[in-house]
Amino acid sequence: MPLKSVAWSEKGMRSHENEDAFLSMPDQGLFALADGVGSGESSAVAANMLMDCLCEQLSGTDITQDKILHAIDAANFAIFRLAQQPGHVGMATTLAMAWVSGDWVHCHYVGDSRIYGYRQGRLVQLSEDHVAISSVSGAREKHKITRAVGIQDQVNVDSKSFSWTDSDRLLLTSDGVSDKVNEADILELIESPDLLTAIDRIRGLIQLSVERGGRDDKTAVYIF
C-alpha cells in the first residue's frame, strides 16, 4: 500500500523565522524533520541545508541504509564548514528521519526531535532524546542537546529498525511540539473519532501545543 503523509509547520513567538524544516518523499518511503540550533537566522539555514542535501542525494535513487548515512554525513560536513564562517558560527540542527522499506521502518536521529510509532492502540517513542540530564533531579534540561548535525566535522547518528505493517502510523515532531504535549495527548488525537482527516489531527496537535504556552517553532509530520 502506498504511503501517505501530511505535515504542518508553524513559526513560534521566540524566533523571527521558522527554524524548523521537513522533508516528505512518500514514493520512496522517506520522511525527515530538522530543528535548527543556534542564534539568529543561521539555525534556519542549517535545518534547510540538511533537508535540501538529503533530498538532493536520495531523491530518485534506490535508497539503502548506507546511502542514507552517507547523505547525512555529507550534509553534516557541509553545515560544519559553513558554521566556521562569520555570521554562521555555532549553527547546527537536529534530525529525525524514518524510512519505510517493505516490512521495516528504519529510524535515524540526532538531537531531541522525536519519532513516534503507533500500532493497535499503542503509541511508543521510537527515538531517544540526546539531551543533558540533571544529576540532581533527573529532569531534562531545556535546550541542552548533546548531539546535533553540523556541530563537529563528523556526526554520531543513532539508528534503529522496527517491524512495519500497513496499519502502523509514524509521527515526527520537533521539540516545540513534544515539550508541550505528551504521549496520551498524541494518542487521543490519533484515535479521535471527531477528527476525520490526517491534517486535522496534525493541526490539532500544533494547536494544543500553542494553547499550552509553546513559544518555539512547531512541526509535525504524520505518516500513514
Tell me the CATH number at 91.
3.60.40.10
Per-residue model confidence (pLDDT) at position 209: 96
Cα distances (Å, whole numbers) of residue 129 to 19, 79, 91, 110, 145: 19, 21, 19, 8, 8
Closest by Cα among 181, 16, 154 to 73: 154
Please give the single-letter amino acid code of residue 205. L
What's the pLDDT at 141?
Answer: 46
Q: What pLDDT does 75 receive? A: 99
Which pLDDT score is estimated for 71? 99
| Per-residue pLDDT, 218 | 97
- The total of structural domains in the chain comes to 1
Q: What is the pLDDT of residue 143?
A: 59
Bridge pairing between strands 131-133 and 140-145:
antiparallel
Residues of the chain with pLDDT under 50: 140-141
The one-letter amino acid at 97: M
Cα four-point dihedral sign 74, 66, 109, 159: negative
Determine the pLDDT at residue 45. Answer: 96
Domain that holds residue 17: 5-223
Q: For position 224, what pLDDT does the model report?
A: 95
- The answer to whether 71 touches 132, Cβ cutoff 8 Å, is no
pTM of the model: 0.94
